Amino acid sequence: MVSLGELTRAAGASLRPLAPFDAARPITGVHASELDDPGRYLEGGELLLTTGIPLRSGSIEAYVDRLDAHGIGAIGIGLGEGWDDAPPALVERCRLVGIPVFAVPDGAPFLDVSRAFWSNTGRTGDDEVLRTAHAHTRLVQAATGAHPVTAIVRQMAQAIGGWVAWLPFGAGAPAGMLHPPSLEGLLPAVRVEVERTLVRSGVEAASFVSHGSTVMAHAVTDGERIRGALALGAGRPLARADRQLALTATALLRLVAVQSTGRRNPEAWITALALQGDAAAARALAAAADIELPLLFRVLVGADDASDFGIEQRGVRVALVPADAEVTRGSGALSSPAILDDLPAAAARALALHRNTPHTSLLVEPESRAEGWVDLLAEADPMLQRTVVAYLRHRQQAERTARELGVHRNTVRPRIAAAERLLAVRLDDPDVAAELWLALRDRTI
């Protein structure tokens, strides 16, 4: 998000304040509308730009109150289209309800304001990525210190600019801690809500509202039972970067928990995080556990392996093996090499390969996914492959495909559906269609 101060500085003369405003107020977007009640198209926090058409036909006070109810971030009125100056009633009503109000001078296009917002959004996004990366590193460093739990909680609170609580569970467990200490009075109420929403339901993560803001809580387990929970709030909506940091902090607390019980297996947590798409948390956890990760992995599904980098997923054993490791024996499905960030997609392909072609020998995904699709079609009913070839040749037109094959179009559609189930793809996806067509042409047509 962009602060109102940043936006006004970037917009310059195109956005003139009509009253004092909070420069730190976050703006989520810029939206132009001439509707009497544009709230249905708003999510909250936007700067609404208008030429003032709705102010001429209705009550200015009611207009502002409706926007206030939708959580508008600010209002900007364009001058020159019937307004030489902003209506005093608009400025006064905005002052009363606490909505910053601005004028867009005559001749200044609304587009200037939008460009200023998106320009700042790009810079803010880059800064956010950098800050998040540093925060992950600091969390890892905190976990390796003499008092890891205290350090993780303190660092996490500083990273999100809010408060973070550690709530241990079990007989003889301490009361817990909350940082910053000035807010420790929240701890009893937070514990009650965490026990209600997280512990009793048995879920791994939950959210609830406490003291007017959303709180996110994650269970910290040692592999057998819940050892505690990490709860955090910031008095603002928690962003994706906050959630990523919370996953890293939770993973580090889990590592601390299993170390204290002598059941240290960070590899399983690294695997789970990577397969969930949390590569940053997986890397941070690996660094904290002094584990060097290879550049490329393969995903091994359905094999009875002894790798520490393995978990149960959908009732199937899923493991990570270095891409250069030799895996030639046993059963299951082995994906093509992938970097840590791409492991969720690699795992999905390996799971589909294992599910769709259950063999007793090891199945290896070809380096080219299209080659794998061609192999699957070659092993299927020959008519299925002929139908797919005709379907792609005629650009996914069932009627023309049916004419080439001499069948009814209602015969084509079930065959295409069967092929899509077999390949675990959609043939109307242009990328899939292009890759598969080229591979089929090179191999069979």
Contacts of residue 310, Cβ cutoff 8 Å, sequence gap at least 6:
267, 268, 271, 317, 318, 319, 320
Separation CA 361–CA 204 (nearest Å): 36
Write the pLDDT tens digit of every residue in 21-42.
888 788 888 988 888 888 777 7
| pLDDT bucket at 148, cuts 50 / 70 / 90 | confident
* Mean pLDDT, residues 66-71 taken together: 88
Which strand (E) or helix (H) includes residue 163? Answer: strand 163-168
β-sheet bridge partners, residue 301: 318, 333
The answer to whether the beta carbons of residues 45 and 73 sit under 8 Å apart is yes
Q: What is the pLDDT of residue 263?
A: 47
β-sheet bridge partners, residue 256: none
Indicate whether this model's pTM tops 0.85: no
Give the 3-state secondary structure percentages of the chain, helix then strand then coil, rounded to 5. Answer: 50, 20, 30
Which strand (E) or helix (H) includes residue 297? Answer: strand 297-301
Separation CA 370–CA 433 (nearest Å): 9
The answer to whether the beta carbons of residues 286 and 270 sit under 8 Å apart is yes
Write the pLDDT tens digit of every residue in 111-146.
889 888 887 765 544 455 555 666 777 787 777 677
* Mean pLDDT, residues 191-203 taken together: 84
